[in-house]
Amino acid sequence: MTGRFPSYSSDRIQEGGQSTGSSPVVKRRPINFALVNRIALRELPALLRRWLPDGRRRGCEYVARNPRRADRHPGSFSINLRTGRWCDFASSDSGGDVISLAAFLVGITQYAAAASLADMFGIGMEGRHGR
């Protein structure tokens, strides 16, 4: 799956001082999740062809094999092309938007998925779309 989704570069996370525990304080850049999701939803058909190339459109849904489990036939893993909601009806995996789908497919946090999508779409820290 790593070749289908841009990798999230850890150089975007800057480690600060120590918190009261033993883990470092991590400063994150602000991300406008609503804007990222809105743009990703507009680009969803192209994203799905890239992320799930063996899938196909069926009405207002995109049906593919779930790459996170041993799924032999498309059918139970479905993404709504209008809303971005997705579900694997053969498991308990589901989500409500494109960011959660990207995070699930790659196995990263939703923050990391949103940051990667923001980079892909040219959305800066101010939440402006740079394209």
Q: Does residue 88 fall inside a structural domain?
A: yes
Q: Which of 35, 32, 43, 127 is nearest to 84 (CA)?
A: 43
User: From first to last of its 131 residues, what are the pLDDT tens digits of the chain?
Assistant: 333 444 333 333 222 333 345 555 556 778 999 999 999 999 999 999 999 999 999 999 999 998 888 777 777 899 999 999 999 988 889 999 999 999 999 999 999 999 999 999 998 755 455 44
Calpha distance 48→81 (Å, rounded): 9
Q: Which domain holds residue 63?
A: 32-121
Calpha distance 100→95 (Å, rounded): 6
Q: Give the predicted TM-score (pTM) of the model.
A: 0.74
Q: Residue 37: which CATH number? A: 3.90.580.10
The beta strand positions in 1-131, using DSSP E, are: 14-18, 24-27, 56-58, 61-64, 77-80, 86-88, 94-95
Is the Cβ–Cβ distance between 24 and 112 less than 8 Å?
no
**pLDDT for 19:** 37
Q: How many independent structural domains does the chain possess?
A: 1
Q: Does residue 81 fall inside a structural domain?
A: yes
